[in-house]
Amino acid sequence: MAELRIATTLADGLRPLGTAGQRSHQLVAETLREALGDKHASLFAEPVVSPRGDQVDWYSSASGQIQKLSAMTGPDAEQAQAELSRLVSDIKKHAEKLAQSRDENTRRQAETLTNALEIPDESHVYMVGGQPVLTCWSHELDVRAAPTGVLYGLIPGAAAASHAAAGGGSNGNIDQTSRAASGFPWLRIVAWLLLAGLILCLFYALLAPCGLWGPQWLKLNRCEAPKVAVHNPQEERIAVLRRDIEGLKDGLADFERSCLVREIDRLNTPPEPKPEPEPEPKPKPEPKKTPPKPKSDLEQGFEKKDVSKLEGCWNLQADVQVRDDTTGALSRLTGWRACFDGNGNGNQTLNFSDGATCTGTPISASFNGRGQLVLKDQKDNMCGKNGSKSMTYYQRELTCDMSKDGTFANCSTKQKIRGRWEQKAKGTKLRR
């Protein structure tokens, strides 16, 4: 696990490329490390998603000053762009080579590397010391017609070559068109005359003919004048006054009737009794204060990054099957207990379903820079049946996070097999 955090990004606004398996940092890094070397593998930062899944921390195995490539100037920027160009070009060529294979898995690796070279924009390119590092790789902006090939635009010479190729082709087309036009100028004149006539016809069809002015012989004004009714203003005023008088009479009659009805109702309605005073409300009892639940040793250890809180014995629960490299027989882990002193040093005992037992193997506990508990075997576990030590259970390293309810730690496991660490089972639980 890389230790240097480069940046933290939000998951909103980005669209992932390929499958979740193709976006595996371990897959991309191991593929490039075997084919091209550590420099190419270190180009891609390792993502660590937050528990809520709304943001991602990006970590790098490189060391040194962290700078955005877009903020660099002068010779340092030129040197960084040259190194980025070299790494991207090598990876692109390797992906093109893999794409030519007849093997489907190999072609899928080519697709994985091609997607990995896509980033949303140039703000995700960093320099850590002398090592270029990418964040948000295998992602693009979650917009319609999202830009692609952002990295290729940052490589010196790539954009210029593309522009030169496009420019050369367009010049040839312009020369050919110019020669054709200069040979037949009368075609251009006829085309303009036809266009002008079409525009005049459209104007005449769209505008109301009665709204146009011109000589009488053009007969543009074909709209007849609206007929105006002849009326007497005095008679119209008298009619309005009569309607107003009738309306006032009706309103006065309605008002008189409503006043009479209200007076009769008032005389026939008995007086309302005086309301009884409401009793004063009883005071509400104060709620009992619940004392806070004391934190467990495990919670205090995670909170303070203090391994002394782990002093004592702990049980580890894991659904693990072990295969005997010699016989191929499978056995299941049935019991696992580790005991620590105040300095995080301890030993452990493992029991398996076939009767094999591992005892006395040293194990250490510590907290890393991200506040995670790391439990690590100091060597391979020597196991056997009936007290023998004829079997080897390879060295492991567990990285643990505190559960939300504070009752246990949830751990992921990697195992060192023949000198190489490999990611293994997740879901191991540590509790008293």
**What pLDDT, on the 0 to 100 scale, is given for residue 350?**
92
Phi/psi at 352 (5° precision): -120, 160
Q: Is the pLDDT of residue 152 over 60?
A: yes
How far apart are the C-alpha atoms of 95 and 195, rounded to whole Å? 54
Q: What is the mean pLDDT of residues 89-103?
A: 94
Going 387 to 389 to 394 to 396, the CA torsion angle's sign is positive
How far apart are the C-alpha atoms of 132 and 115, rounded to whole Å? 18
Contact 371, 364 (CB under 8 A): no
**What pLDDT, on the 0 to 100 scale, is given for residue 100?**
94
| Structure letter (DSSP) for residue 270 | P
**What pLDDT, on the 0 to 100 scale, is given for residue 230?**
56
Which residues in 269-282 are b (16+ Cβ under 10 Å) and which e? eeeeeeeeeeeeee
Q: What is the mean pLDDT of residues 96-125?
A: 94
Determine the 3-state secondary structure of 32 from DSSP.
Answer: helix
Q: Is the pLDDT of residue 225 over 70?
A: no
How far apart are the C-alpha atoms of 221 and 214, rounded to whole Å? 8
What are the tokens at 378?
Answer: 């100091």
Amino acid at 413: T
**What pLDDT, on the 0 to 100 scale, is given for residue 252?**
83
Which residues in 173-187 are b (16+ Cβ under 10 Å) and which e? eeeeeeeeeeeeeee
Radius of gyration of the chain (CA): 43
Determine the 3-state secondary structure of 267 from DSSP.
Answer: helix
How far apart are the C-alpha atoms of 68 and 119, rounded to whole Å? 14
Q: Is the pLDDT of residue 222 over 60?
A: no
Higher pLDDT, 329 or 115: 115
| Percent of residues, the chain, with pLDDT higher than 70 | 85
Q: Is the pLDDT of residue 364 over 90?
A: yes
Under 8 Å CB-to-CB from 346, ≥6 apart: which residues?
Answer: 338, 339, 340, 362, 363, 364, 365
Q: Give the residue from 139, 31, 145 showing the smallest Cα distance to 90.
A: 31
| Percent of residues, the chain, with pLDDT higher than 90 | 46
How far apart are the C-alpha atoms of 172 and 165, rounded to whole Å? 11
Higher pLDDT, 249 or 311: 311
H-helix segments, 212-342: 233-268, 297-304
**What pLDDT, on the 0 to 100 scale, is given for residue 186?**
65
How far apart are the C-alpha atoms of 211 and 221, rounded to whole Å? 7
The domains of the chain are located at: 4-161, 297-431
**What pLDDT, on the 0 to 100 scale, is given for residue 2?**
62
Q: What is the mean pLDDT of the chain?
A: 83
Q: Is the pLDDT of residue 288 over 90?
A: no
User: pLDDT class for 228, splitting at 50, 70, 90?
Assistant: low
Q: What is the mean pLDDT of residues 194-212?
A: 68
**What pLDDT, on the 0 to 100 scale, is given for residue 203?**
67
Q: 328-356, pLDDT tens digit by residue? A: 788 898 999 999 999 999 999 999 998 88
Contact 4, 59 (CB under 8 A): yes
Determine the 3-state secondary structure of 211 from DSSP.
Answer: helix
- H/E element, 56: strand 55-60
**What pLDDT, on the 0 to 100 scale, is given for residue 227?**
55
How far apart are the C-alpha atoms of 102 and 95, rounded to whole Å? 14
Determine the 3-state secondary structure of 263 from DSSP.
Answer: helix
How far apart are the C-alpha atoms of 31 and 91, rounded to whole Å? 10
**What pLDDT, on the 0 to 100 scale, is given for residue 180?**
36
Q: At what angle do helices 25-35 and 74-99 cross, to 10 degrees?
A: 90
- Which region among 8-17, 76-85, 263-272, 361-370 has the lowest average model confidence (pLDDT)? 263-272
**What pLDDT, on the 0 to 100 scale, is given for residue 89?**
95
Task: Please measure the distance between the N-terminal and C-terminal CA atoms of the chain and give it in whole angstroms.
Answer: 27
How far apart are the C-alpha atoms of 192 and 198, rounded to whole Å? 10
